[in-house]
Amino acid sequence: MLKTRKSVVASIGTALAVGMSVLAVPTTAAAETEYRRGPDPTASALERNGSFAYTSTTVADSATPGFGAATIYYPTSTTSGTFGGVAISPGFTETQSAISWLGPRLASHGFVVITINTNSTGDQPDSRGTQLLAALDYLTKTSSVRNRVDATRLSVMGHSMGGGGSLAAAKTRPSLQAAIPLAPWHSDKTWPEVSTPTLIIGADGDTIAPVADHAEPFYTNLGAGQKAYAELNGASHNTTNSANAPTSRQSVAWLKRFVDNDTRYTQFLCPPPPAPSTTYDEYRATCPY
């Protein structure tokens, strides 16, 4: 029997309704493809290096257009698909050594990471943002690991003026999947142009980039995207410059959730960790996500 147009539409509607009830996909992630890399996570696993074997390669300043010397850390696996990318900038007067602990940490969890020196250690935050984007372009188009990185799933991090630079990078390039400013510093306090999912990590005892003048107004004045603000308890401006458990845990989870769309990591982000606690003075978030 020929179906009328109306009955065909009704059948499709029924099929969709049945399909959706069976799948039970979380509504916020329904349209996202997940790029799961590595085993099911535990909280303590996020505080250590992950399960991927990794290696690193240094890149001379003479080979890096638009930024300084760099180090690329990457999982050696070629059978796990491509990996998301992360570019990380140090802060004012710093070199990449200030944030180098994040290279092995993130690569071993399944990301291709480039830590950079800036052209000059005195470069301002917006310049650091431009340099982070140049580093991602180098990583995905020119570097020896370009075929290991998914150029559609990129992110930025940075310390202090590098953290301000990560906000500037996300403002310039809205296609970025995640930004993680660490003890960020910037003279611009308003970031309505940034809808990239952004995790800001502040330090309660930071006297160089006091959270009341930097991290907190940045968080409050971000755009419409998902965001979180973690204020580390008993911490200073440089706490995130060496291996730090809550920074590691939340950063890995944030990148997994928003660069890989891996909802196995949502549990570490939502509901937000309890605060105030010995770990966080404050933790704000736009859950659920």
Binding footprint of ligand 9J3 on the chain (CB under 6 A) = 91-92, 160-161, 185, 208-209
How far is 150 from 33, CA to CA, in rounded Å? Answer: 13
Indicate the pairing of strand 54-59 with strand 70-75. Answer: antiparallel
Q: Is 108 a catalytic residue?
A: no
CB 160 to ligand 9J3: min, Å: 3
203 binds, among Zn ion, ligand 9J3, none (CB under 5 to 8 A by kind): none
**HSE-CB of 16 using CA atoms within 13 angstroms:** 6
Q: Are 154 and 170 in contact (CB under 8 A)?
A: no
Q: Is 237 a catalytic residue?
A: yes
Q: Which stretch binds Zn ion (CB under 5 A): 68-76, 84-92, 120-128, 181-189?
A: 181-189
How far is 120 from 177, CA to CA, in rounded Å? Answer: 27
Q: Is 40 a catalytic residue?
A: no
Which residues are CB-neighbours of 93 under 8 A, at least 6 positions away? 121, 122
Q: Does residue 93 bind Zn ion (CB under 5 A)?
A: no
CB 56 to ligand 9J3: min, Å: 24
46 binds, among Zn ion, ligand 9J3, none (CB under 5 to 8 A by kind): none
Helix, strand or coil, per DSSP, at residue 116: strand
Q: Does residue 204 bind Zn ion (CB under 5 A)?
A: no
Given 109, 159, 214, 237, the catalytic residue = 237
Nearer to ligand 9J3 by Cβ, of 79 and 207: the residue is 207
Binding Zn ion by CB under 5 A: which of 47, 188, 204, 213? Answer: 188
Helix, strand or coil, per DSSP, at residue 211: coil
Q: Are 148 and 112 in contact (CB under 8 A)?
A: yes
Residues annotated as catalytic are: 160, 206, 237
